[in-house]
Amino acid sequence: MRRSHIKINTNPKEWWQNMRTVMKTYTSVIVIIVAALLLELTTGIMYIAAQKFIQRTMEHTVKREMDATYMNIRNKLANVEVTIDNMAWVVNRDLESADWMFETPEMLAQYNSFILGFGISFAPYYYPQKGRWFEPYAVRRANGTIETMQLGSAQHDYFKADFYNLAKNTGKGNWCEPYMDNEGAKAEVTTYSVPVYSSDNKFVAVVHADISLGWLNELMNDEKIYQSTQRYLVTSKYTWLAGQDTPVMREVLKVLKADDDYTAYFTMEDQNGNKLHVF
């Protein structure tokens, strides 16, 4: 039987010459492979860096946008507060005439289109001839007309309302939690109210302004840079004021309720597993 033999070259000099020949032959291939690997690595690093840059830019832009929205709303509400503080002074000055009390709410409603309604809720029997409930009220209807009425009654017992009792009991201006006003504004509103005192420092009435939650929604969604951005406005007790009621909002409220001092942002996922950045 004939045996096959494999000849192994153990001469170091010849082996090195063979390796040099192989390297010369495949140098271009090796260079291409290394270049390709470096290109992939560089592309990956640049992609990650670009993603982080885009993320930081988006976060900065959204935060700046939300700060601007907050300041816009805060300024509007501050105007409401100043208007009602001035209204309290006017009512205090003209307490002699019960019928004159209809003039102030009507005039303010005409010149403050962003406020839905104005009212003066008097203490029981302050004007005996007007009865237990006396509440001159003016509201701007959807067609732009101003409707003035005597709103207080047993059916609309403002003595039980938060806006009345907050102002009366604290002796200062307050925003109340949102509620549905079926009698006067006929809309979901939040109310800013201020107490009125007579010259001898006796409680007389509560003056108040109703702000439509629909109007707040319009402010919240005005001029959005990213249309997918969801904005929410809540009270200090985390009651919904403006923004779409969604599962995301409810999760955000849980986080805020758990930490009253939460001022940063966090990342969460929606029901579809999409990441959401919440400020």
Residue 105, pLDDT score? 95
Q: Is residue 208 pLDDT above 50, yes or no?
A: yes
Q: Is residue 187 pLDDT above 70, yes or no?
A: yes
pLDDT category at 228 given cuts 50, 70, 90 is low
- Coil, helix or strand at residue 43: helix
Residue among 240, 227, 164, 220 nearest 195 (CA)? 164
CA 270 from centre of chain: 19
Most confident of 49-58, 62-71, 172-181: 172-181
Q: Is residue 131 pLDDT above 70, yes or no?
A: yes
Q: Is residue 214 pLDDT above 90, yes or no?
A: no
Q: What are the tens digits of pLDDT across the range 85-95? A: 999 999 999 89
In whole angstroms, give the CA distance from residue 259 to residue 152. 40
Average pLDDT over every residue of 68-84: 86
Residue 143, pLDDT score? 92
Q: Is residue 240 pLDDT above 90, yes or no?
A: no
Going 246 to 248 to 254 to 258, the CA torsion angle's sign is negative
Supply φ then ψ for residue 64, to 5 degrees. -65, -40
Q: What are the tens digits of pLDDT across the range 27-62? A: 666 667 766 777 777 777 777 777 676 667 666 666
Average pLDDT over every residue of 270-279: 53
| Sequence-separated (6 or more) residues with CB below 8 Å from residue 147 | 138, 139, 141
More confident residue, 31 or 176: 176
Of the given ranges (97-111, 115-129, 206-220), which has the lowest mean pLDDT?
A: 206-220
More confident residue, 76 or 209: 209
More confident residue, 64 or 189: 189
What average pLDDT does the structure give for the chain? 80
In whole angstroms, give the CA distance from residue 156 to residue 160. 9
Residues in the chain: 279
- Burial of 101 from C-beta contacts in 10 A (0-12 / 13-18 / 19+): buried
In whole angstroms, give the CA distance from residue 146 to residue 106. 7
Q: Is residue 279 pLDDT above 60, yes or no?
A: no
Q: H-type helices in the chain, by residue range?
A: 12-93, 103-111, 162-170, 213-220, 247-258
In whole angstroms, give the CA distance from residue 190 to residue 181. 9
pTM score, whole prediction: 0.69
